[in-house]
Amino acid sequence: MRCVRRSDAWPALIGGYLGLRPLRFPREFRTPYGDRMTLETFHDLVTVWVVFFRDEYPVDLSHRRIIDAGANIGSFSLLAARVAPEARIIALEPFPATRARREERPRVSSGLPALGSGAFGRPEVHGRRQCA
């Protein structure tokens, strides 16, 4: 039900997630906050589903420091930046190929800083967001 409320593309996303209909990748996903992300694989869809529709990673406005260890494509970091805009977010992704995907794509469509390109363990600072 959350998918229906949080995405105007819910029929395709539900069908693709459940394996009821094939999805073509890459495809654009618009977050509930209006940001756009490119989903390149089914695994990206699963990541987005867990972060934005299943609410498995709760974030509160009062959170001031958030560590996204294993940041993958940055879905949770993006959610955290929207829900807790004053938080310092440290996004760490140890796999260079995954980190490169996160950095190459346009992450945000409405003013949030892009995630950085530091090596694992050596974060870069972008405004109040700290990303590696």
Question: What CA–CA distance (Å, rounded) separates 132 from 52?
Answer: 22
- AA letter at 112: L
The domains of the chain are located at: 2-131
Q: What is the pLDDT of residues 41-77, one digit of tens each?
A: 999 999 999 999 999 999 999 999 998 888 888 889 8
Q: What is the pLDDT of residues 17-50, one digit of tens each?
A: 999 999 999 999 988 888 888 899 999 999 999 9
Cut 0.75: pTM above it: yes
CA 54, 88, 116, 78: dihedral to nearest 10 degrees? Answer: 20
Please report the pLDDT score of residue 121 as a whole number.
Answer: 44
- DSSP label of 115: P
For 1-132, strand residue ranges (E) read 27-30, 36-39, 65-69, 88-92, 124-126, 129-131
- AA letter at 117: S
Check: CB of residue 126 under 8 Å from CB of residue 116: yes
